Structure 1
Amino acid sequence: MTEFKNSAVKSMVVMRKAFRTIDSRVSGTFRDFDLTPAQFSVLDVLYAKGPMRIGELISSILSTSGNMTIVIKNMEKNGWIKREVSDDDGRVYIISITRKGRNIIEKALPAHIQAVEETFSILTPEEQEQLIGLLKKFKTLNE
């Protein structure tokens, strides 16, 4: 096993391993409702924020997905979302959640939140706030 002398590299490795562990613990809630992580994220964002442009949706979702066009088309086929041309700009599509999609996310969300809360319960509320503060520092890299 390689010993890391560089604390930045070690931090990244530990953070990635932690993320994989967390992700594997909470992703079962998606599968229970026959959703992929990307589909769950799309429904979650549309449920919380309402209709939006495809670009806004992609930048708002928690999972990164290079195949978002396919995800959206499949979700539209399933009747979970609808895609309509914008009244303001005919080149832009607005994505919104349907009643069927709303029903799915209303069932899936409580189980997902419970799984996240159980997973993060290994940290105290103070440690969770500390973690949030530390991770938010990375946002400055994009500014």
Structure 2
Amino acid sequence: MNKLDKLLTENQLDLKTMIVFRKAERKIRALEHRAIKENKLTPTQFAVLETLYSKGDLRIQDLIDKMLATSGNMTVVIKNMVRDGLIFRTCDPHDRRSFLVGLTEQGRAKVEEILPDHIRSVNAALAVLDSQDKEDLIRILKKFKNLS
């Protein structure tokens, strides 16, 4: 048995776990994004709307941190969403070097329109799990939070 075959054999359970995890994540993401795509938004645009809806106005860096996004991509997303009238951007009154972003009335109406369908999609994706399974999955997935 060569080194690669030995490595594959010794790590078969880890590799299988990762494959099953990725397949499940892909299926869940597809269901979750259905309502978003039907409303002609990207997942990132919806995440911006949903985050601002739940957290209120945020500094751009705080929004990026909460969404675990990159600043390069977010710059374009925010610019386009301001252009489309979904969010506003203004100077932070507490720090003139920073900008705040928040929902416009049009953005609030859009997220309130999409959120019920989005929640139903999430429910459908997780319907294969009972409450205990969901609690167990949360507990297991939290073990990954300190990986670097």
TM-score, length-scaled by structure 1: 0.90
Out of 92, 95, 102, the residue aligned to residue 98 of structure 2 is: 92
Partners of 1:40 and 1:105 within 8 A in 2? yes
Structure 1 unaligned spans of 5+: none
The CA distance in 1 between the partners of 2:117 and 2:10, in whole Å, is 40
Q: RMSD of the TM alignment (CA)?
A: 1.8
Between Structure 1 and Structure 2, how many residues are aligned? 140
Q: What is the percentage of aligned positions where both structures have the same residue?
A: 42
The CA distance in 1 between the partners of 2:93 and 2:122, in whole Å, is 38
The CA distance in 2 between the partners of 1:32 and 1:61, in whole Å, is 22
1:119 aligns with 2:104: no
1:17 aligns with 2:4: no
Which residue of the partner structure matches residue 109 of structure 1?
Answer: 115
SS of residue paired to 2:61? helix
Partners of 1:4 and 1:10 within 8 A in 2? no
Out of 79, 84, 105, the residue aligned to residue 78 of structure 1 is: 84
SS of residue paired to 2:94? coil
Paired AA for residue 23 in structure 2: K
1:57 aligns with 2:63: yes
- 1:11 offset after TM fit, Å? 1.9
- 1:141 offset after TM fit, Å? 2.4
Q: Which string of whole-angstrom CA distances, capped at 9 and with x for unpartnered residues, describes residues 45-87 of structure 1?
A: 000000111111112126x455111000000001110011111
- 1:89 offset after TM fit, Å? 1.3
Which residue of the partner structure matches residue 46 of structure 2?
Answer: 40
- 1:4 offset after TM fit, Å? 6.4
Partners of 1:81 and 1:101 within 8 A in 2? yes
1:139 aligns with 2:138: no
Paired AA for residue 10 in structure 1: K
The CA distance in 1 between the partners of 2:141 and 2:95, in whole Å, is 37
The CA distance in 2 between the partners of 1:91 and 1:74, in whole Å, is 21
SS of residue paired to 1:138? coil
- 1:5 offset after TM fit, Å? 4.8
